[in-house]
């Protein structure tokens, strides 16, 4: 793996975390806000774990995340763009809520529980990444890499375990930040992720050899017994 590529990848992630911190602390008008620091710590820990996994087991995906190849679905670009914008809005709203006290009396126990859930949800996402050699940020059939359906790890239970972790994270994060307004925005993020799950699953069934058979064996996309 090219060291310059690794440096670019790490720098991109650092800038993302810095941007998140700026959005939170600037809108809150203070830096002594422990939930925001906790959120940043979760992001930092998760990025570190994912980087270690990518470098050790799947360095090709690190390159793809910096320079996405051709073949990305138009709908996927649109969903990801809207999702990133909503996530930025969520952090700004949570900070403004903290500054002006729009949400009051939020239970500390709920915030601590949400912090634990955030960590567990990203542990599930990391497990999904470690189990899937074709784990990509974009929806595409990786025919250049011999793409096949993954059936091990959490993929034995649901077809899209990473989205389970992401949706849970989206709903837990605004609870950690103690903002009802941010929870509304995170609800929209969760809806977008469910839509992306449905569209990605449809794409895989139509274009990935062997996925239809896998879908017969693992019936549910996100929630066993429900969907």
**Contact indicator for 147, 207 with CB cutoff of 8 Å:** no
Confirm whether 20 is domain-assigned: yes
Confidence bin at 71 (pLDDT 50/70/90):
low
Confidence bin at 5 (pLDDT 50/70/90):
low
The residue whose two tokens read 């993954």 is: 150
In this predicted structure, what is the pLDDT of residue 209? 87
Confirm whether 223 is domain-assigned: no
Give Cβ neighbours of residue 144 (< 8 Å, ≥ 6 apart).
Answer: 69
**Contact indicator for 208, 220 with CB cutoff of 8 Å:** no
**pLDDT averaged over every residue in the chain:** 87
Indicate whether 63 pLDDT > 90. Answer: no
Dihedral sign for Cα atoms in the order 151, 152, 156, 158: negative
Q: Kindly state the percentage of the chain with pLDDT values over 70.
A: 91
In this predicted structure, what is the pLDDT of residue 88? 93
Confirm whether 224 is domain-assigned: no
Q: Quick one: average pLDDT of 213-223?
A: 92
Express each pLDDT in 17-46 by its tens digit: 888 899 999 999 999 999 999 999 998 888
Confirm whether 225 is domain-assigned: no
Q: Quick one: average pLDDT of 208-214?
A: 90
Q: Which domain holds residue 83?
A: 3-217
Confirm whether 211 is domain-assigned: yes
Integer Cα distance of 178 and 176 in angstroms:
5
Indicate whether 207 pLDDT > 70. Answer: yes
Confirm whether 227 is domain-assigned: no
The whole-model pTM stands at: 0.89
Integer Cα distance of 10 and 185 in angstroms:
28
Confirm whether 82 is domain-assigned: yes
Assign residue 61 the CATH number of its domain: 1.20.120.1630
Q: How many domains does the chain have?
A: 1
Indicate whether 132 pLDDT > 80. Answer: yes
Confirm whether 89 is domain-assigned: yes
Q: Quick one: average pLDDT of 133-139?
A: 80
């Amino acid at each position: 793996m090219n060291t310059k590529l690794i440096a670019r990848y790490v720098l991109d992630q650092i800038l993302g975390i810095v941007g998140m911190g700026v959005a939170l602390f600037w809108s809150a008008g203070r830096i002594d806000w422990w939930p925001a620091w906790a959120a940043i710590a979760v992001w930092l820990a998760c990025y570190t774990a994912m980087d270690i996994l990518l470098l050790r087991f799947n360095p090709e995906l690190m390159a793809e995340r910096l320079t996405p190849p051709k073949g990305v679905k138009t709908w996927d670009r649109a969903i990801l763009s809207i999702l990133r914008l909503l996530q930025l809005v969520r952090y700004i709203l949570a900070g403004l809520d903290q500054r002006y006290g729009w949400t009051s009396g939020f239970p500390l126990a709920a915030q601590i529980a949400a912090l634990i859930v955030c960590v567990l949800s990203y542990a599930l996402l990391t497990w999904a990444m470690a189990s899937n050699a074709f784990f990509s940020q974009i929806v595409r059939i990786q025919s250049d890499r011999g793409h096949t359906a993954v059936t091990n790890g959490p993929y034995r239970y649901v077809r899209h375990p990473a989205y389970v972790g992401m949706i849970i994270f989206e709903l837990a994060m605004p609870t950690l930040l103690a903002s009802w307004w941010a929870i509304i925005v995170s609800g929209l993020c969760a809806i977008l992720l469910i839509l992306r799950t449905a569209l990605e699953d449809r794409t895989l069934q139509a274009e990935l050899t062997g996925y239809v058979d896998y879908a017969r064996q693992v019936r549910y996309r996100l929630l066993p017994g429900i969907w």
